[in-house]
Amino acid sequence: MPLEFASAANRTILARHHQYRIDEALAESRYRSRFRNWDRLATVRNNPIRPLGDSGELFFTPELVRSLDHPILAGADSRTREAVLVHRLYEYLKFTIDLEQSAVIPVTGHISRGMAGLELPELMRADAFKIVTDEAWHAQFTYELMREVRTRTGIAPALPTVPAFTEVLARIHEELPSQIRGLDEMLFAIVSETLISSG
């Protein structure tokens, strides 16, 4: 009797394994990768980092820096107002680096290695590796731009070491029930990348 049970159990395991392979093959056949031309089109594979131009343009759009409307800054000299714009640019660039490295790359890395708790087709996971590469490239060229702005202007960034959003995310993460902890990180990465891509 025990042998028959083992045999039935093995058949169940084999059936599940084959069903999984069939399901995976179906998912692979339905999945339409948006990265089919990635080797040819990805900036990280084809374009060097472009240096800042000498066009004399502002470092950040003044209309997006509401503090410039304050009476103290409204009457300030152009050098002071430009320094405010440079610091606003640094904030934006640092946020981009922190977002990529603290929020997006860890999630896409887990997806690519099959550690995100999702059953995904192999091709989709392969695409996640490409996303990790792209996001790391975004962080790198953003960092290089920060260095170039500092060299060009002589203005050093004055930014917090730990970004505020990571502290908020950590607090939310700890408050979630353990059964769904981790979903917050994935949702934040998806929403933030969607907002950036559509903006």
d(CA 177, CA 153): 48
Q: Which amino acid is at 181?
A: R
d(CA 140, CA 146): 10
Give the residue among 122, 47, 59, 44 at the shortest CA–CA distance from 90: 59
Give me the DSSP letters along 101-129: IIIIHHHHHHHHTT-SS----HHHHHHHH
Tens place of pLDDT for every residue, the chain, 199 residues? 333 444 444 445 544 554 555 465 655 667 788 777 777 777 777 777 676 766 666 788 888 889 888 888 888 888 888 999 999 999 999 999 999 999 999 999 999 999 888 888 888 899 999 999 999 999 999 999 999 999 989 999 998 888 888 888 889 989 988 888 888 898 899 888 887 766 5
In 10 A of CB 112, how many CB atoms? 20
d(CA 83, CA 111): 41
d(CA 106, CA 189): 9
DSSP element (H, E) containing 91: helix 78-98
Give me the DSSP letters along 2-22: HHHHHHHHHHHHHHHHHHHHH
- Tell me the pTM: 0.73
